[in-house]
Structure 1
Amino acid sequence: MSNETPSAPSSPASDAPRDFIRQIIRDDLASGKHASTRTRFPPEPNGYLHIGHAKAICLNFGIAQEFAGGWCNLRLDDTNPGKEDPEFVEGIKDDVRWLGYDWHELRHASDYFEVFYRAAIKLIEDGKAYVDDLNADEVRAYRGTLTEPGRNSPFRDRSVEENLDLFRRMRAGEFADGSKTLRAKIDMASGNINLRDPAIYRVRKIAHQNTGDAWPIYPMYDYAHCLSDALESITHSLCTLEFEDHRPLYDWFVDAVDLPNHPELWQPLVDAGLETKPSKPRQIEFSRLNLSYSITSKRKLAQLVNEGHVDGWDDPRMNTLRGLRRRGFTAASIRLLIERLGVSKQNSVRRMAVLDPLKLVITNLPEGHEEILTFANHPKDESFGSRTVPFDREVWIERDDFAEVPPKGFHRLKPEGEVRLRGVGIVKCEEIVKDADGHVTEVRCTLDPESRHGLPGADRKVKGTIHWVSAMHGVAAEVRLYDRLFAVPAPDDESDGKSWIEHINPEAKRVITGWVERAASLAEPEQRFQFERLGYFVADRVDHHAHHPVFNRVVTLRDTWASKV
């Protein structure tokens, strides 16, 4: 157990970083919710730390230093034996100290294995967990999709007695790897897939670097992480945005186990001399650090090392902290970079929306054609996962993505022209339909079947790619387009003979009806997206509901005023 961090002023100095996380902490301290701040930095020891970790280190340890009585633990998340190495443990400790920080206590998730096991027994006794015999492929099949609910496992209704017997036999090592899992019993129809009976324990007969062969079962990350936070009295559990959808599960485990009111669960820690005062932590997400011309996946960094593309983890070309240090960057320069970047929740999770819809019909697909496509949530960051998007014969496209008489340099859809329909393939405009006033109401196209994903023609080049929303499955949404409130840079300057009121931009707010994919309509209030090719939008904090989505435009992708000033 290492050193206490020096005490700091109860409120940061005026020149200290100010962001939404620190404001939450100030409010919690001012209200008396917490007397002091407890954070943690919890890396998995399966590789050396990289520049992305520097943001989490500076945030967690920095906050602990800024607020009086605060401290930050270094916790090694060692729940995945076989991929973890004592060499990485020492490297992590060295990198944290090089950045200029020290920890209150050094903990390991494996310190809590007995507590996790006892807590799982409690969940079974409370009817909130069951042993499942489905294999991994069957679990995926039963889970459902973003548009379809999951199905209950045929083993979900086992009795408490049978589940207790099976789980204890799992603990005793009677079953083969992968043959059984312990799953939380939550809701297989939940719109949040993370709540569809997630796994708590899996059978894995492999030696652990700290506990040896004592455990043939190991807890899953989502289960172990939140309970570790609770056991260590963490007040603010800070993590990157990919865990935002996991927060309801984090809270479910913390509430269902209820460590503060069940001291018998954590008595082994007291007996071992580990300070333990369980409490309820709060998870808060922030955007991760991504840099151009670099990667921050430890798996991919390890591949670079293992395949000899670089000269080890400390190769100066690597963006590991060891590599940056070897190249000559100082710890102070990295801390300054993180400070100047700041902390926000903005990140480019993508969704598709159409704000000025024009119907596109694919005539060489049969009536009633439907299929499910898979789209990445972020084009350059696989950690954000993927989503399913329904596609059918009729879709909405943006009206300005079609031009009957295209201007010079127009690379989108036009009569007899081709364009790539995002994630679908190449379509060619064969016919247009107009109303009585001569306005185009529909474009009729054919889809080149050889240009579908995975086929040889998918690589055929066309100059334009446009997005779309399914006409059958898309959801109508109210979209509020906000712009600058004033039309001039200095509204108070009345030298043009107009009052400041007259400088108000009449186009500062427009309300339209657009179409969004279903995954966007299910957003929580204040959840943010980049609508592809359109800009950044947020679900309105007051008016947004799944049955009536309301999105506000935060900012466009391009400065539409650039040509006006």
Structure 2
Amino acid sequence: MNESKDFLRTIVEEDLASGKFQEVHTRFPPEPNGFPHIGHAKSIVINFGIARDYHGRCNLRMDDTNPITEDTRYVEALKDAVHWLGFEWDDGIRHTSDYFPRLYDYAVQLIKMGKAYVDSLNEEEIREYRGTVTEPGRRSKYAQRSVEENLDLFERMKNGEFKEGEHVLRAKIDMGAANMQLRDPLLYRIRHVHHHRTGDTWSIYPMYDFAHCLSDYIEGITHSFCTLEFENNRAIYDWVLDTLELEPPRPYQYEFARLAITYTVMSKRKLLELVNEGKVNGWDDPRMPTIAGYRRRGYTKESILNFCDQIGIAKANSTVDVAQLEFAIRDDLNTKVPRVMCVLDPLKVTIENYEGSEEIDASYYPHDVPKEASRKLPFSKEIYIERDDFDENPPKGYFRLTPEQPVRLKHAYIITCKEVVKDADGNVVEIKAEYHPDSKSGQDTSGIKVKSAIHWVDAKGAKKAEVRLYDRLFKEEAPKGMEDLNPDSLKVIEHALVEPAVITERPDERFQFERQGYFYADPVDYSDEHPVFNKIVALKDSWSKKRKAPEKAPKPQPKKVQIDGEVAPMNEAEQARFDKYTDELKLGTEVANTLARDEKLSHFYEEALSVLQSPVSLANIVANEVARELKEKEIDALKFTPKQIAGLVKMVEEGTISSKIAKQVFEEMTVSGKDPEKIVEEKGLVQISDPAQILPIIEEVMAKNPDNVAKFKAGNTKLLGFFVGQVLKSTGGKANPKVVNELVAKKLK
């Protein structure tokens, strides 16, 4: 259960403590008139999550009261979304149409009580009679009909004797109510439409306000969570239940803020328009904000769940920056996916002094990811690099290959440009280079200093792939419609080149293409003969550069490294720090740049280094977590000290806590300023490394997943990650990942 209670959970706890309800029973009641989107994901997480947290139940109910727009494929999409997010509904799927006979009987009961009547005004007259926010409405003359006449007309409406719009059933409440929802709301309307479940049985269909509260009551729902646009409808919800004097217990409605995201539309009407007008390639187009679209793009369920958890549950509407959702997927994939190399715009490089070929052993993961796996990179005299990784006339601050500047090939050697080959139009078509045999990564004794490492693929070993570069579907922060579509939301590269292991070994379905972004093997179009990869998200938010400069200059922030020629050249002091960090402390280029360019950040790092001689680990946390805090605060306002950061890193290195727990401890340090040792002690976060404690958890996970155990033993070794993840989840991230990996692998043999 979440440690910090939102207002909905507070309500639930109070109701349980007071004895108002013995069990929590929620529901997720979507209309099956479109594919569920990210807003539905939030509702799913709230309804199913609260039921789970309080050991209750949650129903999945299709609100199928408008047969004009409904379709069984939408029902399947909704079921699939709930399952994919990891939830189970209680005792089969419900449909509002299951209750049509009972709803009709309740309507008859209201008529008999004199609380409902058949109105014969047309739609325009009903609107006119309703009044305004400053003027009361007028009741229809048809409200004077007798109970007998209303019962007769209502039954004939049900039997299909009237045209659509000829009559409606309305509640008789108060035409002068300040809440206009109470001005004799419609309860039923005539629809001569085939229903996908009830066929042609019914010619009348209940309105949402009538059907929803009664469906909740019939199902025994205790807490009916709705978005804020239904706040005024709560009065009708209560009126129907109270007027019918139904036997308790009865449900209660509570409202929360709906999800709105920048650069995104979530109106079903607009999403349907995008699909029907061919602006996108269906509901599962990776640019769509549908759950199916996010899945096909490569988002993980964990990233969606984490995003919903991070934005919380609010009482007031607001708009979430889409960058927060993009951060959630980056954060999730960063510690999961293998790093590989893919060249999108190939430029041939011939290494003239290299003969033969070799295989270079390269890890799939950086040192700070607790996974161990590697692949063989073929290397020969002909390779391809990214076209923009060479510049004949480089701007200042350009760190990649130039006629005068050598560069390192990632995992391989340093190369130097010797000749630039051009075609008749002056376009560069080939680079002739030489390599330095004593500069191999991990064994470099060349003494050559380079400021960048670039990705590459071997000409013979590389595999061709189609790469789909997806970007935001809309170019405006608050899009209004089709006129705001981003014309560059999809770019297809048909002849990208990837290293062979991506295709031949398939270590995963998601990858970080070095320096390009995160990518996913398209689940529909991919085949080993024609590999297709979708771009999930870039490695950093590039859209922030496109926004207009604010009127007031923002507070200076530490600059992140950008090895793409966009940063200013270093001054003398910065260069000296950079040289020290790369040469003496062996820091990576990106981290060294981040620290070297910010004097205060560099000072913080060196203070921490004076406490703990662990330059790489300290540099990573300072250049990322500490730098992130400095975006919002001055360094003097930080709650934590360099000494405390050193203490946190020491605990990770000694195995006291895991890297995942360290992030949790750091977040607490930013708020409380407590020593990390104290936080770990108070919260009981010490890492579990004792096999005797971990093995029973592994056995329990395996017992719960016999099908996956069988699949693993049948050859699906990718499931190792599934079991490791389940064990880590069961321990709240406390288990030592390395120990878990080893024990799970042994257990599954």
Match of 1:331 among 301, 323, 339: 301
1:123 and 2:110 correspond = yes
Residue number in structure 1 paired with 2:95:
108
Question: Are residues 125 and 380 of structure 1, via their aligned partners in 2, closer, same or farther at CA, if it must alter by over 3 Å?
Answer: farther
Structure 2 distance, partners of 1:346, 1:124, is 37
Match of 1:80 among 63, 66, 86: 66
Q: Which runs of 5+ in 1 are unaligned?
A: 1-11, 261-277, 350-378, 383-408, 410-488, 491-565
Quick check: 2:118–2:142 contact (8 Å CA) kept in 1? yes
Residue number in structure 2 paired with 1:179:
166
Quick check: 1:231–1:259 contact (8 Å CA) kept in 2? no
Structure 1 distance, partners of 2:313, 2:127, is 35
**More strand per residue: 1 or 2?**
1
Match of 2:288 among 318, 337, 340: 318
Task: State how 1:333-482 maps to structure 2 within 5 Å.
Answer: 333-347=303-317
Q: Deviations over 1:496-520 (max 9, x none)?
A: xxxxxxxxxxxxxxxxxxxxxxxxx
1:203 partner letter: I
Residue number in structure 2 paired with 1:454:
none
Residue number in structure 2 paired with 1:188:
175
Residue number in structure 1 paired with 2:654:
none
Quick check: 2:264–2:478 contact (8 Å CA) kept in 1? no
The secondary structure found in structure 2 opposite 1:156 is: helix
Quick check: 2:221–2:251 contact (8 Å CA) kept in 1? yes
Quick check: 1:231–1:279 contact (8 Å CA) kept in 2? no
Structure 2 distance, partners of 1:156, 1:335, is 49
1:302 and 2:245 correspond = no
Quick check: 2:116–2:169 contact (8 Å CA) kept in 1? yes
Quick check: 1:134–1:153 contact (8 Å CA) kept in 2? yes
Residue number in structure 2 paired with 1:99:
85
How far apart are 1:171 and its partner, in Å? 1.2
Structure 1 distance, partners of 2:49, 2:139, is 45
The secondary structure found in structure 2 opposite 1:301 is: helix
Task: State how 1:234-245 maps to structure 2 within 5 Å.
Answer: 234-245=221-232
How far apart are 1:17 and its partner, in Å? 4.7
How far apart are 1:194 and its partner, in Å? 0.4
2:81 partner letter: D
Task: State how 1:1-40 maps to structure 2 within 5 Å.
Answer: 12=1, 15-40=2-27
Structure 1 distance, partners of 2:97, 2:246, is 17
Q: Deviations over 1:362-414 (max 9, x none)?
A: xxxxxxxxxxxxxxxxx9699xxxxxxxxxxxxxxxxxxxxxxxxxx9xxxxx
How far apart are 1:348 and its partner, in Å? 5.5
Task: State how 1:196-207 maps to structure 2 within 5 Å.
Answer: 196-207=183-194
**More helix per residue: 1 or 2?**
2
The secondary structure found in structure 2 opposite 1:206 is: coil
1:282 and 2:252 correspond = yes
Quick check: 2:220–2:250 contact (8 Å CA) kept in 1? yes
Structure 1 distance, partners of 2:227, 2:36, is 15
How far apart are 1:254 and its partner, in Å? 1.1
Residue number in structure 1 paired with 2:50:
63
The secondary structure found in structure 1 opposite 2:231 is: helix
Residue number in structure 1 paired with 2:215:
228
1:282 partner letter: Y
How far apart are 1:16 and its partner, in Å? 3.7
Question: Are residues 327 and 17 of structure 1, via their aligned partners in 2, closer, same or farther at CA, if it must alter by over 3 Å?
Answer: farther
Question: Are residues 235 and 380 of structure 1, via their aligned partners in 2, closer, same or farther at CA, if it must alter by over 3 Å?
Answer: farther
Identity across the alignment (%): 57
Q: Deviations over 1:3-46 (max 9, x none)?
A: xxxxxxxxx4xx44510000000000001111110000000000
Quick check: 1:42–1:76 contact (8 Å CA) kept in 2? yes
Match of 2:147 among 152, 160, 185: 160
Quick check: 2:115–2:173 contact (8 Å CA) kept in 1? yes
Residue number in structure 1 paired with 2:651:
none
The secondary structure found in structure 2 opposite 1:237 is: strand
Task: Mark the structure with the bigger radius of gyration.
Answer: 2
How far apart are 1:258 and its partner, in Å? 3.1
Quick check: 1:182–1:201 contact (8 Å CA) kept in 2? yes
Residue number in structure 2 paired with 1:293:
263
Quick check: 1:234–1:279 contact (8 Å CA) kept in 2? no
1:148 and 2:135 correspond = yes
TM-score of the superposed pair, with normalisation by structure 1: 0.56
Match of 1:134 among 88, 99, 121: 121
Structure 2 distance, partners of 1:321, 1:304, is 16
Over aligned residues, Cα RMSD in angstroms? 1.9
Structure 2 distance, partners of 1:292, 1:245, is 26
Question: Are residues 33 and 82 of structure 1, via their aligned partners in 2, closer, same or farther at CA, if it must alter by over 3 Å?
Answer: same
The secondary structure found in structure 2 opposite 1:131 is: strand
Quick check: 2:284–2:293 contact (8 Å CA) kept in 1? yes
Runs ≥4 residues deviating over 2 A? 257-260, 379-382
